[in-house]
């Protein structure tokens, strides 16, 4: 549980974030946390609840990120927007995970992922009250340098051998693992620990890990997605946003197929988002920042529970 | 067969790994925001004491080990087995040298020890962290030396050899830390 000192640090951080966007004339928005559609990403579990009362009784999901509702505002000509909100992910609990956490999400019109990385760096300078050089590495470069494998030219056998070479000899449950699952493992246990201290952006993820980002026109093997690591901890994930409704629908459907294959229930696709994309989502880049993890850095905390005013699980 | 999902992992949980009973020492849930979750686990093999690292894809199930700790009274040694008794049922059980290991040096008749049973058989014997033992052999005490510097070896009634201050004499009752094999202080019987 957070001390008074940490509560004050959290309040100061939220104030600094709001000042940062106010100074840039980026509008704060507040979108609903409940939705009748869930997140189809097979690696993210939504909390499910039921609405009972006037209107129509129905299953509702707590948002895992405000992305879909914010994109609808963007398509409706909101201009650049940001939001600070609680998001919910079932099954995530550990030293760096809480099933509900505070997310800062923003979208900057006419930016690509590189311009947005630069803006994230500016925000960090302000909230961490320290200007620090950033390191930018492509996903391919990071894997080549630190794991000795080219992530854009791989197969399961090579990934398994790479993991073994780096001491991951006893990984249980990988019989049905995909190349992306192996890449996640190697990223987490081999690459990230070698990134060292400081602020490191990894960008141009393999196209299979595009999530909601655009596939690069220059190199279709990669997606215009980035992640930020500070002192070896994942802090942010950003996209040069996919604006093509047809391609987005295809990705949602593929995710639901993967969910079924893994024994998870498929989730209703957000048709409102897809029609917003069809109307026209302006070219933009967006990023989600884990506010509690930023606060952990500011407070020198080793565990997320230290910076939360109370735990929802324990 | 009972099993545990990775969601139930916590330190102290007993699992069967490669046919041996093991205990989780440390469990960490790791997951990239948009990626596969894993549990990074440190596991102690309860037979060998060795600690190994294992990574589990989250959601996997692992067979539980039928391991339980019981408090039992040490009775005697017949040259092959060390016999312990359950103070409630008076049931007796013999532990072999693999289970008792180096802890023979702490065993004192009538005292209580933790006997870890695996499928009903003794797996390990653990003495209390602190025990009271009488010195049976040491060089004569140096009167007036209470500095605690230097020290000398003393053999205790159970066979354990402990480094003690120079002023300690044979026949004295001492409190000893079994984890570090270190002298803690002089003791009275009722301590």
What's the pLDDT score for residue B188? 82
Residue B49 is predicted with a pLDDT of 86
Say how far apart CA A217 and CA A137 lie, in whole Å.
19
**Residues counted in chain A:** 314
Q: Strand pairing partners for B122?
A: B117
Please check the confidence at residue B191 and state whether its pLDDT lies above 70.
no
Whether residue B21 is predicted with pLDDT greater than 70 in this model: the reply is yes
Beta bridge partners of A171: B55
Q: Looking at residue B144, what is its pLDDT?
A: 63
Residue-wise pLDDT tens digits, A242-293: 999 999 999 999 999 999 998 999 999 999 999 999 999 999 999 999 999 9
Contact A286, A67 (CB under 8 A): yes
Provide, as residue numbers in chain B, all residues whose Cβ is less than 8 Å from the Cβ of A95.
28-29
Distance CA A135, CA A226 (A): 12
Q: Counting one residue from A and one from B, how many pairs have CB atoms under 8 Å apart?
A: 79
Nearest residue in chain A measured CA to CA from B7: A91
A298 touches chain B (CB under 8 A): no
Longest dimension (CA), chain B: 71
Angle between helices A271-280 and A67-75 (to 10 degrees): 30
Residues of B in contact with A91 (CB under 8 A): 7, 37, 58
Environment class of residue B70 by beta-carbon count within 10 Å: exposed (0-12), middle (13-18) or buried (19+)? middle
The minimum CA-CA distance between B27 and chain A, rounded to whole Å, is 9
Closest CA relative to residue A3, chosen from A297, A313, A305: A305
Question: Which residue in B has a C-alpha nearest to residue A103's C-alpha?
Answer: B33
Report whether pLDDT(B107) > 70: yes
- Smallest Cβ–Cβ distance between B38 and the set A167, A185, A288 belongs to A185
Q: Is B43 near chain A, with CB under 8 Å? A: no
pTM confidence score: 0.84
Beta bridge partners of A234: A229
ipTM: 0.90
Lowest mean pLDDT among A16-25, A118-127, B93-102: B93-102
Tell me the average pLDDT across A205-214.
Answer: 96
Give yes or no for B54 touching A (CB within 8 A).
Answer: yes
Using the predicted structure, report yes or no on whether residue A157 has a pLDDT greater than 70.
yes
Which of B38, B50, B51 would best serve as a mutation to test chain A binding (most A beta carbons within 10 A)? B38
Res. B1: pLDDT tops 80: no
| A8 vs B190, higher pLDDT | A8
- Across B39-68, average pLDDT: 92
Helix (H, G, I), strand (E, B) or coil at A311: coil
Nearest to A187 among B32, B54, B62 (CB): B32
Best of B37, B53, B61 to substitute, by most chain A Cβ atoms within 10 angstroms, is B37
A164 confidence band (pLDDT: 50, 70, 90): very high
Q: How confident is the model at residue B145 (pLDDT cuts 50, 70, 90)?
A: low
From the candidates B57, B59, B60, B62, which should be mutated to test the interface with A, based on the most A CB atoms within 10 A? B57
Least confident of A102-116, A277-291, B87-101, B176-190: B176-190
In this prediction, residue B47 has a pLDDT band, given cuts at 50, 70 and 90, of confident
Helix segments in chain A, DSSP class H: 4-23, 67-75, 113-127, 139-147, 156-165, 179-186, 192-195, 245-261, 271-280, 291-299
Share of chain A above pLDDT 70, in %: 100
Select the residue of B7, B34, B53 nearest A43 (Cβ to Cβ): B34
CB burial of A54-78 (b: ≥16 within 10 Å; e: otherwise) equals eeeeeebbbbbbbbbbbbbbbbeeb
Give the closest of A93, A94, A172 to B57, CB-based: A172
Transcribe B85-142 into DSSP letters.
E-TTT--EEEE-HHHHGGGGGG--TT-EEEEEEETTEEEEEE--SEEEEEEEEEPPP-
pLDDT > 70? residue B143 = no
Would you call A302 an interface residue with chain B, using a CB distance cutoff of 8 Å?
Answer: no
């Amino acid at each position: 549980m957070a001390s008074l000192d940490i509560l004050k640090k959290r309040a100061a951080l939220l104030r600094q974030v709001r000042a940062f966007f106010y100074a840039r004339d980026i509008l704060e928005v507040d979108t609903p946390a409940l939705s009748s559609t869930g997140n189809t990403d097979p690696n993210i579990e939504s909390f499910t609840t039921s609405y009972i009362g006037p209107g129509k009784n129905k299953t509702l999901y707590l948002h895992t990120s405000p992305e879909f509702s914010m994109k609808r505002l963007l398509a409706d000509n909101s201009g650049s927007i940001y939001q600070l909100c609680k998001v919910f992910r079932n099954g995530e609990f550990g030293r760096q995970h809480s099933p509900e956490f505070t997310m800062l999400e923003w979208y900057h019109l006419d930016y690509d992922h590189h311009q947005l990385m630069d803006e994230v760096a500016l925000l960090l300078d302000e909230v961490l009250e320290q200007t620090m050089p950033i390191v930018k590495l492509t996903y391919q470069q990071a894997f080549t340098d630190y794991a000795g494998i080219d992530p854009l030219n791989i197969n399961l056998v090579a990934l398994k051998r790479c993991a073994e070479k780096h001491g991951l000899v006893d990984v249980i449950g990988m019989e049905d693992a995909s190349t992306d699952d192996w890449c996640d493992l190697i990223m987490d246990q081999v690459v990230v620990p070698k990134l060292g201290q400081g602020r490191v952006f990894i960008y141009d993820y393999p196209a299979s890990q595009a999530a909601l980002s655009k596939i690069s026109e220059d190199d279709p093997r990669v997606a215009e997605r980035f992640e930020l690591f500070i002192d070896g901890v994942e802090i942010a994930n950003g996209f040069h946003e996919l604006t093509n409704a047809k391609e987005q629908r295809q990705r949602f459907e593929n995710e639901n197929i993967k969910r079924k294959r893994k024994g998870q229930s498929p989730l209703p696709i957000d048709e409102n988002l897809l029609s917003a994309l069809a109307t026209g989502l302006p070219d933009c880049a967006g990023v989600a920042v884990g506010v509690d993890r930023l606060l952990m850095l500011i407070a020198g905390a080793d565990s997320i529970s230290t910076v939360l005013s109370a735990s929802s699980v324990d | 067969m009972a099993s545990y999902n990775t969601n139930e992992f916590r330190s102290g949980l007993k699992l069967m790994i490669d046919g041996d009973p093991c205990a989780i020492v440390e469990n960490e849930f790791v997951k990239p925001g948009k990626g596969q979750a894993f549990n990074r686990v440190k596991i102690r093999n309860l037979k060998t004491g060795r600690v190994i690292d294992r990574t589990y894809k989250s959601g996997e199930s692992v067979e539980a080990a039928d391991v339980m700790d019981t408090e039992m009274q040490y009775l005697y040694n017949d040259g092959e087995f060390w016999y312990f008794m359950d103070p409630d049922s008076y049931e007796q059980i013999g532990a072999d040298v693999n289970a008792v290991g180096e802890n023979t040096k702490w065993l004192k008749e009538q005292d209580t020890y933790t006997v870890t049973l695996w499928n009903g058989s003794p797996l390990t014997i653990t003495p209390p962290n602190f025990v009271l033992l009488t010195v049976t052999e040491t060089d004569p005490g140096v009167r007036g030396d209470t500095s605690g510097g230097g020290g000398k070896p003393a053999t205790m009634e159970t066979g354990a050899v402990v480094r003690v201050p120079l002023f300690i004499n044979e026949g004295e009752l001492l409190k000893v830390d079994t984890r570090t094999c270190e002298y803690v202080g002089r003791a009275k019987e009722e301590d």
